[in-house]
Amino acid sequence: MAQLSDDCFAFGGPMMSVDEAVGLITARVNAIVDLETVALVDADGRVLARDIAAPLPLPPFTNSAVDGYAVRNADLPQAAEQAFPLDGRIQAGGLAQAPIKPGHTARIFTGAPMPPEAETVFMQEDVRIDDSGRIVLPPGLKPGANVRPAGEDIPKGQVALRGGQRLRPQHIALAAAFGLVRLDVVRRIRVAVFSTGDELASPGEPRATAQLFDSNRFMLMAMLRRLGCEVSDLGILRDERTSLASGLKEVAGAHDLILTTGGVSTGEEDHVKAAVESVGSLVLWRMAIKPGRPVAMGIIGGTPLIGLPGNPVASFVTFVHVVRPTVLALAGALPEPLLPIPVRAAFTYRKKEGRREYVRVFLRKGQDGTLEVTKFPREGAGLLSSLFETDGLVELGEAVTGVEPGQSVGFLPYAGLI
């Protein structure tokens, strides 16, 4: 499992910026080195274990990009159209029988290998056939037009997939284009997930009047799975230090990360901090993020722990900005920074300097057709509707003190967050 020394997260300040916190985590966690081999069909979302150099060029042979007629460059009509006798026919998957003869053209189809000596292809739409069946080619076509040279996409031997790449369908396409059947990937990161709180009941169990069903745990587990993790659902821990402590300690050795939600504030019934301190060490940083702070980070028996806040929106936002990069670092994945897209604000907002804020927004086309964002009308960090009705988050950096309509702001669509 991911082993960390107890003091590796020691830090000086009382309130850590998001970038500092994430920089610290990603620099200090030890990436998992255990590998496994998976079939291509099972590789989506997995982290590639090592670089893959192209075992063959792509395309593997020089071929026609269109349906048309192939000629030698020396024969390209210069000033006036010119008629060429037909010499050969090459279909996709077939091979030319002989080099193309000077002054001749060959019928060729998209994807078919170029006949030896032929270098340029005329699109069939651009030619006509004269009365004697010759192909009349227009002047002015550039040498090499409509041809896909071998290796133009990827030359043989070039590192085409990098170790640490989180595989998406397009990477799997590339591996298949190389003829690979299996890929070596990093084993799934094992994450233990707990909710904490006496007010919580698990869906499917009886709910007392003063209880609500635990929604965070299911949201977080779904997010973790999207990141390729293997999740242990460990249910709800009560707001009581010793049972919290033993619950956390029990799972530490068998997991790469422990994730909790709730109980990290400084209220009398927030026991996660004390529980972690009793069985490991805790570096609680009050992270300068809203919604969010506080977020706890600790180490139990060498296993990192992240304690997210209980309010669902805070839990969601801090997962994206703290847990996501941690999981990627544990998997040895290449960093995938979230880059907000500039859009026009159609709302007013006041903000405290010195912390980063995320505003839930709708993305719409404005009257002039430009994309703009409007704010969800209510503020509460507990409003699930604010997460599923909106389209994403506007990121307001530490230095920002407010937003005025018309201003450009950075938008993070939910679809790109996980």
Interface positions with Mg ion (CB under 5 A): 197, 262-263, 310
| Contacts with ligand AMP, 194-213, as mask; x by CB under 6 A | -x-x-xx-------------
User: Residue of minimal CB distance from ligand AMP?
Assistant: 310
Task: Please report, for residues 21, 67, 83, 108, 262, the alpha-carbon distance to residue 117 in angstroms, rounded to integers and kept in the order given.
Answer: 61, 18, 19, 14, 71
| Contacts with ligand AMP, 298-337, as mask; x by CB under 6 A | -----------xxxx-------------------------
Closest to ligand AMP by CB, 105 or 195: 195
Closest among 284, 288, 249 to 263, alpha carbons compared: 284
Q: By CB under 6 A, is residue 214 in contact with ligand AMP?
A: yes
DSSP state of 117: T
Closest to Mg ion by CB, 223 or 314: 314
Q: Which amino acid is at 25?
A: I
Are the C-beta atoms of 89 and 106 separated by less than 8 Å?
A: yes
Q: Binder to ligand AMP among 265, 278, 374, 407 (CB under 6 A)?
A: 265
Closest to ligand AMP by CB, 367 or 388: 388
Task: Please report, for residues 119, 200, 326, the alpha-carbon distance to residue 310 in angstroms, rounded to integers and kept in the order given.
Answer: 66, 11, 19
Q: Binder to ligand AMP among 68, 164, 247, 262 (CB under 6 A)?
A: 262
Which runs of consecutive H residues, i.e. helices, occur in 91-229? Answer: 169-177, 216-226
Q: How far apart are CA 229 and CA 137, in angstroms?
A: 59
**CA pseudo-torsion sign 388, 211, 310, 290:** positive
Are the C-beta atoms of 26 and 329 separated by less than 8 Å?
A: yes
Closest to ligand AMP by CB, 121 or 237: 237
Q: By CB under 6 A, is residue 382 in contact with ligand AMP?
A: yes
Are the C-beta atoms of 213 and 202 separated by less than 8 Å?
A: yes
CA dihedral 144, 145, 151, 155 (to 10 degrees): 80
Chosen from Mg ion, ligand AMP, none, partner binding at 217 (C-beta under 5 to 8 Å by type): ligand AMP
Q: By CB under 6 A, is residue 68 in contact with ligand AMP?
A: no
* CB of 221 vs ligand AMP, minimal distance in Å: 11
Element (H, E) at 301: none
* CB of 200 vs ligand AMP, minimal distance in Å: 5
Are the C-beta atoms of 343 and 395 separated by less than 8 Å?
A: no
Chosen from ligand AMP, Mg ion, none, partner binding at 265 (C-beta under 5 to 8 Å by type): ligand AMP
Q: How far apart are CA 390 and CA 316, in angstroms?
A: 13
Chosen from Mg ion, ligand AMP, none, partner binding at 273 (C-beta under 5 to 8 Å by type): none
Closest to ligand AMP by CB, 62 or 211: 211
Chosen from ligand AMP, Mg ion, none, partner binding at 57 (C-beta under 5 to 8 Å by type): none
Q: Which amino acid is at 84?
A: F
Instruction: Name the site residues for ligand AMP (rule: CB under 6 A).
Output: 195, 197, 199-200, 214-217, 261-263, 265, 309-312, 382
